[in-house]
Structure 1
Amino acid sequence: MKKFIVLFLLCAAFGAHAKNPGESAMHCVGARSGNEEVTFSNNCGEKVFLIYCGDLKYSRKRCGDGLGGGYYTHSQNISPGEQGKIHVQGKYRYFSCKGSISFGNGGTYREIGTDSVECLKR
């Protein structure tokens, strides 16, 4: 019985430090570009957040200038059925996860290089 309890405690401790991925919302978000503006539409039944960067019209930050050397520089929440907009003067990149975000990352996603993001469970 003692061996079982020790094994259980070890598994519980290991599990608490294991990756706990959330859900991407890329399939929820439609992007429509036109005349220096990009409109993002949330086509799912729950709130999503975008992280994005690029040649943004009203910011000097560019991809790679994010917090702690992160790639993405900006974020916004979009409610179900709603739209969000950004103003660009060239290229941009974005990623989306289910849920919401506040100032900074707050443990809602993890960047994996410059091309990939892992959404983390809230």
Structure 2
Amino acid sequence: MIDIRADVSRNILILHLEGFLTDDELMHGVNLCISESNKLKDGYTIINDISKMKPASPAGAAEIKRAQAHVINNGVSRVIRITQNPITKIQLNRTSGEVGYQAYEVSTRAEAYALIES
């Protein structure tokens, strides 16, 4: 399951990825991430809920890296990642590190919003 949307009024990109996602689903999700992020102003924040996401295949990880590179070049100021699965967490930490950023990590959506408010 993929749910990606821009909250234009709060300048936040919200991503929720859950379960095992096929390469095609991830490609679609990346394209959606790119189009939704383009609706936001420079300095936006991302809340990326991958707490129930299973690790991606190597091709899927390459797609995730493509989205990460886009947001870095598109004006994101910080990424807050909601994680629980240690292998998925390692995978996304590796790809985000390769494109040049480190996400803040929290356990719940409430913690993510609290971090934004602080």
TM-score normalised by the shorter chain: which range applies?
Answer: under 0.3
Determine which structure has more spread, i.e. the larger CA radius of gyration.
Answer: 1
TM-score (norm: length of structure 1): 0.27
More helix, by proportion: 2
Structure with greater contact order relative to length (CA < 8 Å, sep ≥ 6):
1
